[in-house]
């Protein structure tokens, strides 16, 4: 798999973030499926940086890498919400930590747990009330399930999920029609 496959994966799994509608997206890549994964990723970093997208390695093994693609300003704003701060505080995050400090703490929690800590949703831009609901109900008794499990504001969230789906469909069609990923990605 080369550049085209990499762009298709990004488009299918991260279009709402690439278009500035969503704070972040988490993607797992099987490095051996690419001739030179590190070189390929590096070749897109200038595009990502100039469009306001950062990339953080949450987990990496010999075969797979888990990357968080995020919009720094949006993520800082999301994590500063009082409800998000309350959840993070309970889990050992420090209010005074920088964004990078919080990302490193999330990475450490993932390594210790060998799974996704529930607060990862906050880093993906999920509403704090849905993250809190997921934690409180242990992933059960949700009102709706789509991009995440919804516990509050179901009607508004369904509309947002529809927007994300339409965005992904349009983004992927435009990629298939030959538009380049750097031209499609929005600067926010």
Q: Which domain holds residue 140?
A: 3-184
Question: What per-residue confidence (pLDDT) applies to 126?
Answer: 97
In whole angstroms, give the CA distance from residue 70 to residue 122: 12
Q: What are the angstrom distances between the C-alpha of 36 and each of 42, 43, 47, 64? A: 10, 11, 18, 13
Closest CA to 11 of 178, 167, 160: 167
Q: What is the pLDDT of residue 116?
A: 85
3-state secondary structure of 181: helix
Percent pLDDT > 90 in the chain is 93
pTM listed for this prediction: 0.94
pLDDT of residue 71: 97
3-class secondary structure, 29: strand
| Confidence (pLDDT) at 59 | 93
What 8-state DSSP symbol labels residue 3? Answer: H
Q: What is the spatial distance between Cα 109 and Cα 117, in angstroms, rounded to a whole number?
A: 7
Give the model's pLDDT for residue 141: 96
> Which residues sit opposite 29 in a β-bridge?
65
Chunk the chain into consecutive blocks of 10 residues (it has 188) and report each block's average pLDDT, rounded to whole numbers: 88 96 96 93 94 96 96 97 97 96 96 87 97 95 96 97 98 95 91
Query: In the chain, how many domains are there?
Result: 1
Determine the length of the chain: 188
């Amino acid at each position: 798999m080369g550049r085209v496959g990499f762009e298709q994966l990004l488009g299918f799994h991260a279009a709402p973030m690439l278009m500035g509608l969503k704070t972040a997206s988490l993607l797992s890549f099987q490095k051996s499926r690419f001739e030179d994964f590190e070189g390929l990723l590096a070749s897109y970093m200038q595009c990502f940086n100039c469009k306001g997208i950062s990339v953080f390695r949450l987990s990496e093994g010999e075969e797979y890498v888990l990357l968080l693609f995020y919009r720094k300003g949006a993520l800082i704003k999301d994590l500063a919400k009082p409800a998000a701060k309350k959840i993070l505080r309970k889990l050992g995050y420090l209010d005074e930590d920088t964004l990078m400090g919080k990302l490193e703490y999330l990475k450490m929690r993932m390594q210790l747990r060998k799974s996704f800590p529930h607060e990862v949703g906050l880093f993906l831009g999920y509403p704090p009330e849905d993250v809190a609901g997921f934690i409180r109900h242990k992933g059960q008794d949700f009102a709706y399930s789509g991009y995440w499990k919804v516990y509050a504001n179901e009607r508004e969230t369904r509309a947002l999920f529809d927007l994300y789906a339409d965005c992904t469909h349009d983004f992927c069609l435009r990629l298939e029609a030959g538009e380049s990923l750097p031209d499609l990605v929005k600067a926010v």
